[in-house]
Amino acid sequence: MKSVQICDETLRDGLEGGVNRIPSVEEKLDLLSLANDSGINDAMVGFPGQEVAYKQALALCKGAEIRGLNIRFGLLGRMVEADIHAIDRIRQNSSHPVIAHLFIPCSPIRRYVERWEVDELERLTRFGVALATKLGLPVNFSPEDTSRAEPEIVERLCQAAIEEGATEITVCDTVGYLTPTGTEQLVKHLRQFFDEKGFKVRLDFHGHNDRGLALVNSLAAVNAGVDCIQGTMLGIGERAGNAPLDLIMINLQMQGLWNSQNLIKLREYCMKVAQLCELNIPEKYPVFGTNSFLTQMGVHASAILKAELQQNKDIAACIYSGVDPSLVGLDYGIQVGPYSGRANVKFLLHRKEIEVADEIVDEILTKARTENRIIENDEVVQMANLLSL
């Protein structure tokens, strides 16, 4: 089973909307260091056609050299000389490996608005990719809004890009239009097209979350045969955001399709993104939300406590969780609330090496039910100690 590559769009697409603060260059380098330590292969770091963006992208490449980061940087560009030359200047002024991600819109809705003809799109594609290739830049070609474009037009533009030197193609679900079934059909169709033409290219998938399907679409793309998945940490980005790369990586790790030696660094990376972009991670966000590994149900707590008492903590972690929290350096927990049983209280006190009579346990439960709220862990311990006097 092949391993999937990861392309991190956090510092490019992720910062285009929906964040409260843009990190500084030095802070971005801190994030890229964490991405590097998390085992990420590629990171998109800018759209350097504009002067300020150019200076920041160059600073990131030079900073990556100093830090010794082993991660290739992607730079976005249109099929115009100014963008492509800007990417090339960054390559010339830095020894850090870069790749030009060149895109062109191709869906009927965009062609209608812009009054573009397909012949012109092919001409621009050939011009842009050929120029980048002539300059010595590797090229990843993206037919923007792939998922809403006619298959024959996507094929035509991809073939033109490959014939001019592109070695990577990105399937773009630019507005989160696809379903998992549609994703699988699209990826398989393109893969078959490339195989029939004898084109040996890396195939990427870039998803957005407008319908809430970015995660499952990305996993469907992997199952259908893509080589690399693009996304952002915590799914940040404009509108409903991008595919949540952190959750993609965890799912791929659990499926044996991607191997990171340090998912604890991934957690640190996500926390740092939230901090620097001034975002609150929702409590119910999978894996990294504060509530992800907590339960207050009495039946659940009873099974977990029994496993702990049998010194089977690995089993305890997975009885009522689809993800082992230790995978990302976290632990499971139990709360005491209106729907709890004695096992909830006993679990918390067991963790503190406190033993009390069932009457005291029942008093704590009565308080939670009467007041119809979660009793915080410290309060449970305090009550147990006071009632034991």
Tens digits of residue pLDDT in 249-268:
999 999 999 887 679 999 99
Q: Are residues 272 and 298 in the same domain?
A: no
Please give the tally of structural domains in the chain. Answer: 2
Specify whether 197 is located in the same domain as 324: no
Same domain, 151 and 260: yes
Kindly state whether residues 204 and 314 are assigned to the same domain.
Answer: no
Are both 203 and 82 inside the same structural domain?
yes
Task: At 166, list the tokens.
Answer: 């592109």
Q: Are residues 31 and 180 in the same domain?
A: yes
Q: Both 220 and 117 in a single domain?
A: yes
Is 286 part of any domain?
no
Domain presence at residue 281: no
pLDDT at position 2, please? 65
Rounded Cα–Cα distance for residues 165 and 257 (Å): 29
Is residue 44 predicted with pLDDT exceeding 80? yes
Alpha carbon of 103 to those of 11, 41, 232, 258, 263: distances in Å?
18, 21, 19, 27, 32
Confidence at residue 260, expressed as pLDDT on a 0 to 100 scale:
75
Flag whether 284 is in a domain: no
Q: Look at phi and psi of residue 198 and say left if phi exceeds 0, alpha if psi is from -120 to 50, else beta.
A: left
pLDDT at 1 over 60: no
Domain-embedded: residue 283: no
Same domain, 203 and 315: no
Confidence of residue 204 (pLDDT cuts 50, 70, 90): very high
Residue 162 belongs to domain with CATH number: 3.20.20.70
Render pLDDT for 130-162 as a digit per residue (tens, 0 to 9): 999 999 999 999 999 999 999 999 999 999 999
Query: 365 lies in which domain range?
Result: 294-387
Distance, in Å, from the CA atom of 326 to the CA atom of 348, rounded to the nearest integer, reads 19
End-of-domain residue from the set 248, 276, 304: 276
> For the whole model, what pTM was predicted?
0.94
- Looking at the domain assignment, is residue 198 inside a domain? yes
Residue 285 within any structural domain of the chain: no
> Could you read off the pLDDT of 63-100 as tens digits, one per residue?
999 999 999 999 999 999 999 999 999 999 999 999 99
Other CB atoms within 10 A of residue 357 CB: 10
